[in-house]
């Protein structure tokens, strides 16, 4: 599977006009880079409370379905990534008070990429039940998106066409 291409100038690149440049990558790669989707989806992304997570995940899932209806795989995949990120960030805050998982700053050459990058994981706090519930809400919508047959079809077509 081709890796997400971090070398592209995403600030000036419209992936709706150039879907051939988009690579799914692994997990949430590119979720805060790919335009115009970042600007469309990010304002709706919230997970501080279960109520906010429910409203956010439902809105983002509706956007996911709208992108699918338009045959816009890149948009649908970005919405799926925001649902995934809602889950992972909620879990991080559920497990680590303040949301800080690793010790020390991210090395400059690794910014924007996931993983520890040689840093030590901080000890877990007692689980925050509010954030754990937010995570559960996002996970359910993320799973629903992943299981969508039209999403799977468009993903296969995108990979076949563009790599």
What tens digit of pLDDT does each residue of 114-128 get? Answer: 565 667 776 666 777
Domain positions in the chain are 31-162
Q: Evaluate whether 86 touches 53 at the Cβ level (below 8 Å).
A: yes
Look-up of token digits 């359910």: 140
DSSP lists the bridge partners of residue 35 as: 14
Strand partners for 102: 121
Q: Please, what is the average pLDDT of the chain?
A: 89
Q: Crossing angle of helices 129-146/73-95, nearest 10°?
A: 160
Q: What is the pLDDT of residues 24-44, one digit of tens each?
A: 999 999 999 999 999 999 999
- The structure's pTM equals 0.85
DSSP helix/strand/coil, 82: helix
Q: Under DSSP, is residue 116 helix (H, G, I), strand (E, B) or coil? A: coil
Listed residue (111, 41, 123) closest to 80, CA to CA? 41
pLDDT at 135 over 60: yes
Q: What are 141-150's pLDDT values in tens digits?
A: 999 999 999 9
**What's the mean pLDDT in 126-146?**
92
d(CA 6, CA 83) in angstroms, rounded, equals: 21
């Amino acid at each position: 599977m081709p890796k997400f291409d971090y070398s592209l100038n995403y600030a000036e690149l419209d992936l709706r006009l150039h879907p051939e440049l988009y690579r799914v990558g692994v997990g949430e790669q590119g979720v805060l880079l790919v335009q115009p989707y970042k600007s469309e989806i990010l304002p709706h992304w919230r997970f501080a409370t279960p109520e906010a997570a429910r409203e956010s995940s439902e809105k983002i899932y509706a956007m996911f379905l709208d992108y699918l209806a338009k045959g816009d795989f890149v948009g649908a995949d970005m919405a799926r990534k925001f649902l995934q990120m809602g889950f992972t960030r909620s879990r991080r805050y559920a497990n680590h008070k303040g949301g800080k998982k690793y010790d020390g700053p991210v090395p400059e050459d690794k910014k924007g990429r996931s993983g520890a990058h040689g840093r030590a994981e901080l000890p877990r706090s007692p689980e925050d039940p509010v954030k754990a519930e937010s995570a559960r809400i996002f996970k359910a919508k993320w799973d629903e998106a992943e299981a969508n047959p039209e999403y799977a079809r468009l993903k296969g077509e995108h990979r076949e066409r563009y790599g």
